[in-house]
Structure 1
Amino acid sequence: MKIGKQDATYQLERFSKTQAEFDEHYEKDLQPIAEKLEEERQKTMSLAKEQAKKLIIPALVALAMIIFFDGFRIYVIAALAAYGAYLFKDVYEQRKKMRVKIKEQLLTALIQFLNPNFTYKPKSYVHRNQFIKSNIFKDDPNRYSGDDLIKGFVGNDDVDANGIKGTKTELSFSEIKAEKVEKYKDKNGKTQERVTTIFQGMIFVVDFNKDFEGLTTVVPKQKGLKISLPRFLSGEKGRRLEEVELEDMEFMDKFTVRTTDQIKARYILTPGFMRRLYEFATKKREVQPQNTQKPETLKEAVKVGLNVGGDQRRASQDARNVAYFSFRDGKMYFLLSTGKEHFESGLLTPINKSLVQEYYEDINKSLELVDELNLNLRIWSKE
C-alpha cells in the first residue's frame, strides 16, 4: 500500500489536509473561481441597492398612512410587503443562482482537492434511519432534513509488493437537523405545533474497520447539557444499555459510556483509542457568535433579508461543537452539534478565502476524524 503523508507522532498515513496545503491550493486553483463568483455577487448587490432606493418613498408614504389612518395598518403593510417582494424578485433569483454556483463550482472543486474519492450531492443527506441507528438521543425525530451529502472512502485495498492488503475506510457525512414536533391545543382550542430541536449539525457515518456487534455510546457528561439518553437499544427489546467504567479517568470525567456488552465496549475503547477520541473531541474549534439582534431600521431589515443564510453559518455560543459517538455493528457514528447551517452564504458575505476557509475546515473534519481516531489501521482490518 502506498503511504502518503506521515503523522510524526504515530507514524501513520494522514488523510487530512494541512493549512499550508489549503493555502497553496486556494491561490492556485480556487481563488480564480472565488473571484469570478464575487464579481457576480457585487453585481447582485448593485441591483439590490437600486431596488432598495425605489422602496424608500413608498415606505415613507406607508409610514404616514399608518400614522394618520391606523385602521388601514394591515392593508398598508401588506401592500408594502408585496411591492417589496416585486422589487426584489430578480435579486432573490440571482442570489439563489449564485448559491447553486458556489456549490457546483467552488465547493465541488474544494472537495475534489480534499479527497478525489469523495462524491458530493448538495440536495442529499445522511438518511434518518442512520441517525436513529446511532441511538444517542431518546426521542426519534418526526421532522428530519439536511443537505450537502459527501460520501466516499480513504485509503485503498490494494496489495503491496509484500503481499499485504491495504485497508479502505468508507465514510459519509452531511448536515442534518432533527426535530420533534408535537401537536397540542391552545386555550382557544386551536391546534398548534411545539417544535423541539433534537440535534443540528454534522453527522458522520464511518466504517470502523473492527468487527463487532451490539451498541456502545460515548456522550458528554450531562452537566448543563439538556439531552435525554435512551436506556434500551432501539429496535432490540431487552438489550439494556449499561454504564461502563473505564480506566482512563480523564476520559470518564468528560464522557458517559453506555453499552449492551461490557466486553465489546472494552474491545472497542482501548486505552490508545480512548486517548485519541478524547483529543479529537476536546480539540478547540472556533465558534463565531450568531447575530440575533432584531433590525431597528428599514435599512437594517433589508440587510437581514438579503443576508438570509449568512449569519446562520455562525453558531450560537451555546452550541460549542458538542461531540457524540456511538459504535454499532461495525460502524462508528459521530455527531458534531454546531447549531448552524454549513456551506451557505448570504448576499452580504464576500466570496473570498475567509468563506472558503470555513468550508475547508468543515469538510476536513471528516479526514481529521479518520486520522486522529486511526480508523484505517491495518491491525483493525475486518479481514
Structure 2
Amino acid sequence: MKKWNEAYQLERFAKTDEEFDTYFNEELKQDVERLESERKKAIGLTKKQAMKLLPLVAVLILSYFFWPYIIGYLFFGILFISTFLFKDIEKKRRKLEKKIKEELVTDIVKFINRRFSYSPRKYIPQKDFIDSNVFETNPNRYFGDDFIKGSVGSSVKGDQARNNQPKTELSFSEIRAFHAVPFKDRNGKKKQRIQPLFKGLFFVADFNKDFEGITIIGPKKDRTIAKKVKTEERDKLEEVELEDIDFMDKFLVRTTDQITARYILTPNFMNRMLSFTTVERFGEIPKPTSLKEAWHMGVNAKHLPQVNFANTPYFSFKDGKMYFFLPTEKRHFELNMYVPITKEVMKGYFHDINIALELVDELNLNLRIWNKV
C-alpha cells in the first residue's frame, strides 16, 4: 500500500519502525531464530576447541618460570596447533555470514523496496566519490562492499504520481577511502604514509531534476570541504548563514547559489542532518558484566558502536544529484560471532538502508527545489 504526504500529495518511500516490526514477526523471525541457533553451535565448538589448548597454555606459563629456553618453541607450537583447531570454526563463521547477507539482508532490502537489488561484494564506484567534490584529496586506495541500488517513483512521464513526481535513482554502499603518500625514511627506504579520508556509508541519489550550482555541507571543524571544486567555481563559493543556531554550530555550508542552498536546507532537513551527529544514532556501548564479556568486547571492538568518533555527515548537491557521506567507523552487515542474531540487530540493518529513503522523502517534500524538468 502506497503512503502519501497529504499536505504535498507526495508518495513517501521510507518505511516505519512499525512496518518493520510487522514484517519481522510475519516473515523474518523464523529465519533469524534458525541462524541464531547455528551461531550458538559455532560458539559451542569454539569453547570446545579452546579447552583443548588449556594444557598447552599451562605448560607455556610454567616454562616462563622453569624452562625459559623453550618458551619460543612452545609459543609457535601453540599457534600452529591453533590454526588447525580453529580452521573449521572460521569456515563456519564465513558460511554463517554469507547466509546472513544472502538471506536476511537481501530480504530486508526487498521489504524496503522491491526495485532494490543487493550485491554484497560490490560498492559505489570511485568516480562518484570524486564527483561529489566534498573532500580536498582524492583517494588512491578505495574499497567497499554491500552495494544496494534501485529506484523510487515513476519512470514514465505519463504515469507519474499525482504530484508529477519523477523517478529517483538510488545507490549506496559501505566505503573505505584512503590516500597513500610515498616517502623515504632516514635510510632511504621507500615507505607509504596512509591518510584515511572516509569510512562509512556513502549514498548517491539522482533526482532526474536540475538545481542551480553546487552546495556542499560538512562538519564545521573541517575547513577543507569544497576546496577541490575547480577554480572558476570555487571563486564563487560562499558560506551560508542560517537561522538555526544548533545546525550552524555543527555544519559549514558553502554554495554557488544561496537561494538553492536555502531551499535544500529546510528546517526538517536540517533536523534530519543533526540527528546523524548524535551518539544515540548508533546506540550506547554496553558495559561488560564480567571479565569474560570484557575480553570478548575488546577482541571485537571494531563491531561496537563508535561513541567518540566524529560522525558528522557530509552532503553535496550537484547536477541533480545528492551525495551523502555518513561516517560510522564500523562494518554494518558483518557478523560478530559473540553478538546474538536478534530482531534489534536486524532493525539496525533496516535503519542503515532506510536512511536513503528518509532523505529522499525530506527533499521531495519541498516542491520548489524540483521545479525544473
- Common fold, TM-score beyond 0.5? yes
Structure-2 change in CA distance of 1:186 and 1:79 (3 Å): farther
Is the 1:6–1:12 contact (alpha carbons within 8 Å) kept by the matching residues of 2? Answer: yes
- Equivalent residue number for residue 176 of structure 2: 177
Change in 2 beyond 3 A, CA 1:231/1:272: closer
- CA-to-partner distance for each residue in 1:315-338, whole Å, 9 max, x for gaps? 322225311111122211011111
- Would the aligned equivalents of 1:342 and 1:359 in 2 still touch at CA under 8 Å? yes
* CA shift for structure 1 position 136: 1.2
| 1:325-344 matched pairs, under 5 angstroms | 325-344=315-334
Equivalent residues of 2:10, 2:163 under 8 A apart = no
Which residue of 269, 281, 284 corresponds with 1:286?
A: 281
The residue correspondences of 1:1-383 to structure 2 (distance < 5 A) are 4-7=2-5, 12-158=10-156, 159-160=158-159, 165-186=164-185, 190-212=189-211, 214-222=213-221, 228-233=224-229, 236-241=230-235, 242-246=237-241, 248-250=243-245, 251-259=247-255, 261=256, 265-271=257-263, 273-283=265-275, 284=278, 285-288=280-283, 303=296, 308=300, 311-374=301-364, 377=367, 380=370, 382-383=372-373
CA apart distance, 1:144: 1.3
SS at match of 2:332: coil
- The answer on whether the counterparts of 1:137 and 1:227 sit within 8 Å (CA) in structure 2 is no
Counterparts in 2 of 1:376 and 1:4: CA distance versus 1, 3 Å = farther
Q: Note if contact 1:208-1:375 (Cα within 8 Å) is conserved in structure 2.
A: no
**CA–CA distance in 2 between the matches of 1:11 and 1:172?**
25
* Alpha-carbon spacing, 1:164–1:360, altered in 2? closer, same or farther (3 Å): closer
After superposition, the C-alpha distances for 1:14-65 in whole angstroms (9 at most, x for unaligned) are 1111111100000000111111111111111121111111111111112222
Structure 2: how far apart are the matches of 1:106 and 1:188? 52
Shift of the alpha carbon at 1:7? Answer: 3.4
Asked whether the equivalents of residues 322 and 338 of structure 1 are also in contact (C-alpha less than 8 Å), the reply is no
The SS at the match of 1:319 is: coil
| Matches of 1:161 and 1:339, distance apart in 2 | 39
* CA deviation after TM superposition for structure 1 residue 215, in Å: 2.8
How big is each residue's C-alpha offset from its partner over 1:257-303, in whole Å with a ceiling of 9 and x where there is no partner?
223x3xxx23422346432331210125433456999x988x976x4
Q: Would the aligned equivalents of 2:260 and 2:369 in 1 still touch at CA under 8 Å?
A: no
Where does the alignment leave 5 or more consecutive residues of structure 2 unmatched? none
Matched residue of 1:40: which SS? helix
User: The residue matched to 1:322 in structure 2 has which SS?
Assistant: coil
Aligned length: 366
Residue type matched to 2:167 in 1? K
CA contact (8 A) 2:150 2:170 kept: yes
Contact 2:8/2:365, CA 8 A, preserved across alignment: no
Q: Is the 8 A contact 2:217 2:316 kept in 1?
A: yes
Alignment partners' CA distance in 2, 1:164 and 1:8 = 11
Give the CA deviation at 1:255. 2.6
Change (3 A) 1:162 1:291: closer
Larger deviation: 193-202 or 283-292? Answer: 283-292
Q: In structure 1, what is the Cα distance between the partners aligned to 2:19 and 2:162?
A: 32
- Secondary structure of 1:27's counterpart equals helix
* More deviation, 75-84/243-252: 243-252
Instruction: Return the TM-score normalized by structure 1.
Output: 0.85
The answer as to whether partners of 2:263 and 2:369 remain within 8 angstroms in 1 is: no
Give the secondary-structure state (helix, strand or coil) at the position aligned to 2:12: coil
CA distance in 2, matches of 1:19, 1:157: 28
- 2:281 partner SS: coil
Question: Alpha carbons of 1:160 and 1:291: their partners in 2 closer, same or farther (altered >3 Å)?
Answer: closer
Partners of 2:305 and 2:330 within 8 A in 1:
yes
Gaps spanning 5+ residues in structure 1: where?
Answer: none
Q: What is the CA RMSD across the aligned residues, in angstroms?
A: 3.1
Identity %: 40
